[in-house]
């Protein structure tokens, strides 16, 4: 629940703050329809990729990461094959692009220059210092071994193909 609240705060707060700052810092761009149209299309394409990655990895976790009667959106089984054999956090890799998609959709220079980079750094810190320790507590030595063998993220083209086609 806390994670969902943080996501909401990042989206609503980041969007609101960026619009307020854009009105002062970039009034010409904020009112420029051509600029907004030019950023909207790539933003929507990026959002589509983020949603596709989230859907693919979410379905995979639901199918193979759950054993027994556990709450929805929770996992209790470590997956180390498929896209999870390429990288430990494929869903997070997709979600790292979400602030950038929102920045482009909003057509907000401040979101692009300041807020999206800060939100991305925040997400990386959360993955490293919250998600990883939770996985170690949940899966123990098996996760530590997995950490040694598989990188947190992997940008190889074969991994991207798996991520988008899973």
Provide the sign of the torsion angle of the four alpha carbons 38, 54, 123, 162, taken in this order.
negative
Q: At what angle do helices 141-149 and 132-139 cross, to 10 degrees?
A: 130
What total of structural domains would you count in the chain? 1
Distance CA 162, CA 147 (A): 20
pTM, to two decimals: 0.89
Domain that holds residue 101: 2-165
Residue 166: band (very low, low, confident or very high) from pLDDT cuts 50, 70, 90: low
Residue 75: band (very low, low, confident or very high) from pLDDT cuts 50, 70, 90: confident
Residue 124: band (very low, low, confident or very high) from pLDDT cuts 50, 70, 90: very high
């Amino acid at each position: 629940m806390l994670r969902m609240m943080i996501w909401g705060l990042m989206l609503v707060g980041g969007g609101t703050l960026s619009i307020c700052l854009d009105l002062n810092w970039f009034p010409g761009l904020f009112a420029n329809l051509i600029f907004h149209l030019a950023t909207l299309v790539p933003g929507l394409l990026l959002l589509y990729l983020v949603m596709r990655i989230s859907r693919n990895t979410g379905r995979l976790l639901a199918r193979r990461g759950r054993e027994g009667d556990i709450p929805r959106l929770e996992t209790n089984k470590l997956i180390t094959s498929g896209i999870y054999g390429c990288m430990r956090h494929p869903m997070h890799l997709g979600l790292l692009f979400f602030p950038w998609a929102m920045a482009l959709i909003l057509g907000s220079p401040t979101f692009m220059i300041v807020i999206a980079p800060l939100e991305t750094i925040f997400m990386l810190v959360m993955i490293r210092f919250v998600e990883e320790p939770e996985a170690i507590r949940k899966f123990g030595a098996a996760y530590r071994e997995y950490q040694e063998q598989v990188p947190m993220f992997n940008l190889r083209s074969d991994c991207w193909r798996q991520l988008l086609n899973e």
